[in-house]
Amino acid sequence: MLSLGYKNPLPRTLTLHPSFSFPPFSVHLLIPMSMNALAIYAIAAGGIFAGLFLIQTLSILTNWTNLFSVLASRHLTLPFVVHRNRFWGLWSRASVLLHTSYVAVNVFLVLFRIESFTGAGHRAGELALVNLIFPLSATHLSFLADLLGITWHTCRRIHRAAGWMATALLAFHIIVAVQAQHFNFRLANISQGAASLGVLALFSIPWFRRWSYEIFLRGHQILAGLFVYGTWRHLPTKSSSPKLYLWIALGLLGLTSCLQLVTLLYQNGLFVGRGAPRAIISFTIRKSKENILTTTAAQIRILLPWPVKVEAGQYINLWIPLASLWSWTQTHPFTVTSWSQGRQDTMELLIQPHRGLSVELIRHASVAAESSVSFLALFTGPHGTSEDVSQYKSALLITSGFRVAAAIPYLKKMIYGYNTCTLQIRRLHLVWQVKSIDMTTAAQGLLNNLLEDDIIDEGYILNISIYVENGLAHNKTPFGKHERVCLYQGVPDYRSIISLEASGDQIERLPNIRDEQGRMLVMVSTADDLRDHIQEIVRGYLHQGVKLSEMEYQPNAG
Ligand SMILES: Cc1cc2nc3c(=O)[nH]c(=O)nc-3n(C[C@H](O)[C@H](O)[C@H](O)COP(=O)(O)OP(=O)(O)OC[C@H]3O[C@@H](n4cnc5c(N)ncnc54)[C@H](O)[C@@H]3O)c2cc1C
């Protein structure tokens, strides 16, 4: 007889044979117990040895970090492969290598062992979603960059590369789908999603950003939302893995948004119930020969209900909702020019007028030219990385225009380090290139504060060279009590400045004491072409212990 039912091979009840008996109680328990104890002992002993080995390896590697960083700078990050032009920025060997590997890995994953063209199309669609996890995982790039410990600039490059890769993969996915099948509901949805992504990619061209940053940003976010919606409707309900990628991206977005909200409430002191921060705005005004008043800069002091720790070079994203009709829709990044060893009760900012919110702010100068205006303000941050300045004997800070704001907190920190003998630093040189002498009045107070701080034991370490392109009557005009500030006509000769500083001759040394030359740090926050020029010069001095560092506030960072 044929039976289709499942026959259980095991009896339902277990009957012991009368001759069976359990092993004696003590032996039964002790064997596994002693084995466990031995295993724990072996793991603990092995763990201690592995830990010691790891610590030793890490300390050897840390000693070698300088060597690695010199090699990386000399062969990967500083040599240019593609020079900057109107359409794209500078491409170093490292960026070409990383981008090529990224493309190669994605092409390989699409084509590896494919059985059909349609299969490759499906895989490309899925891979596009995997690539989009990073760009969709946070609303705020500064916050994401902080979580990953990278600069805003690097985070933007990763965001852009992942976005373009996803667009290309999705375009391939759609081409394959169109060739393979007729137009249907699911294809209509992905076309809507892809159209959003395509427009979004086009909108990311720098021209749109410069034209109106706010429209670009909000448009970017709305189109990303439309893309997610279109893709969600396109994905088959049964297949779970592509939807899982969207879930991961949206889950990360929810998580980072919640974290960001809690950080914002904490940093703005909204938990402590002492009210919200206030922005006190004052202005630098220039009077022309014809008695016409022009506002050249704004200074903002943010009074904080809850003190905040800000590292040198960090910036905040500032929201002043009542400054103008549309200011509630905008946040803007500004470097914190104030620095202190501990937490700060007030943060200071130096603002250059452009076309948007910055101009709206300086319009208030007409009612408060001599005094100041006060607004409710909230901020996110402080964001951004801060260069470790502890290993350098000298530092050369090169800035142009209002980007001097980024150099000031570093100078403050290094002067403090010299005064308190907590840093090795022995020489500081600020080279500041400006278009006209008027620009210097905006930062005059900040520079005077630095000179006042730099007075310990008459051992001044700070020198300031200001190069004025137009309108200076005499070249080389030293001023100030100790002639630590010098005004020059024209543009600096960076090659000779860097060469002189790298020689170490400018560091004051005690007589009859053999002193190591020490390392030198070159920090830049300048226009793009000047930054490229300095990179090229510094490449020649890497073997002399010179390191180049770019500050967070860079011009094309918008
Ligand atoms: C890390 C960082 C630090 C900065 N620190 C300072 C500083 O200390 N002082 C200072 O004067 N400026 C600073 N800036 C530049 C400042 O953010 C812009 O000048 C300001 O946002 C311009 O606002 P706006 O509406 O008046 O400009 P617009 O005239 O609308 O735009 C001028 C330029 O600013 C860029 N921009 C506009 N809005 C934003 C935004 N929300 N985020 C990023 N870029 C934007 C645009 O791409 C454009 O290139 C910093 C920028 C960055 C990225």
pLDDT of res. 455: 79
Q: Is the dihedral of CA 540, 541, 543, 549 positive or negative?
A: negative
CA distance 185 to 191: 10
pLDDT at 558 over 50: no
215 lines ligand 1 (CB under 6 A): no
What gap in Å lies between CA 413 and CA 357, rounded to an integer? 30
Q: How confident is the model at residue 452 (pLDDT cuts 50, 70, 90)?
A: confident
β 378-383/315-319 pair status: antiparallel
Distance (Å, rounded) from C-alpha 191 to C-alpha 98? 30
pLDDT band at 239 (very low <50, low <70, confident <90, very high): low
Model pLDDT, residue 189: 62
Position 231 scores a pLDDT of 87
Cβ-based neighbour number of residue 463 at 10 Å: 18
Q: How confident is the model at residue 11 (pLDDT cuts 50, 70, 90)?
A: very low
The Cα–Cα gap between 69 and 63 comes to 11
Ligand 1 lined by 209 (C-beta under 6 Å): yes
- Report the distance separating Cα 171 and Cα 128, nearest Å: 10
Name the least confident of 142-156, 186-200, 215-229, 495-509. 186-200
Q: How many CB atoms lie within 10 A of CB 547?
A: 20
pLDDT at residue 10, rounded to an integer:
42
Do the bridges between strand 332-335 and strand 315-319 make them parallel or antiparallel, or are there none, so unpaired? antiparallel
Taking alpha carbons only, the member of 154, 166, 167, 168 closest to residue 89 is: 154
- Region 93-122 average pLDDT: 92
Q: What is the residue with the minimal CA distance to atom 1 of ligand 1?
A: 553
d(CA 357, CA 378): 15
Looking at residue 502, its amino acid is A
Q: Is the CB of residue 351 below 6 angstroms from any atom belonging to ligand 1?
A: yes
**What pTM, to 2 d.p., does this model score?**
0.85
Least Cα distance to 401 among 530, 255, 239, 212 occurs for 530
Contact 256, 349 (CB under 8 A): no
- Convert the pLDDT of each residue in 139-156 to its tens digit: 989 999 999 999 999 999
- The protein residue with its alpha carbon nearest to ligand 1, atom 21, reads 332
Across all residues in the chain, what is the average pLDDT?
85
The better pLDDT of the pair 492, 28 is held by 492
Ligand 1 centre distance from Cα of residue 553 (Å): 9
- Three-class SS of residue 42? helix
Tokens of 227: 């893309």
| Residue-level pLDDT at 3 | 42
Strand partners of residue 82: 91
SS3 at position 549? strand
The atom number, within ligand 1, closest to the CA of 332 reads 41
450 ligand 1 Cβ < 6 A = no
Q: Is the CB of 296 under 6 A from ligand 1?
A: no
Residue type, 13: T
Task: Give a three-class secondary structure readout of 273-300.
Answer: CCCCCEEEEEEEEEECCCCCEEEEEEEE
pLDDT at 18 over 80: no
Ligand 1 pocket, mutate which of 143, 151, 211, 213 (most atoms under 8 A from CB): 213
What's the distance, Cα to Cα, between the start and end of the chain in Å?
81
225 in ligand 1 pocket by Cβ < 6 Å?
A: no
Distance CA 533, CA 291 (A): 40
Least confidently predicted of 3-17, 371-385, 427-441: 3-17
- At residue 33 the predicted structure's pLDDT band, cuts being 50, 70 and 90, is low
Ligand 1 atom 36: residue of nearest CA: 558
Higher-confidence position of 68 and 481: 68
Does residue 384 contact residue 511 with C-beta atoms inside 8 Å? no
Q: How many CA atoms lie within 13 A of 550 on its CB side?
A: 22
361 C-beta closer than 6 A to ligand 1: no
Closest ligand 1 atom to the C-alpha of 405?
Answer: 8
Smallest CA separation from ligand 1 atom 48, residue:
210
Residue 320 predicted with pLDDT over 50: yes
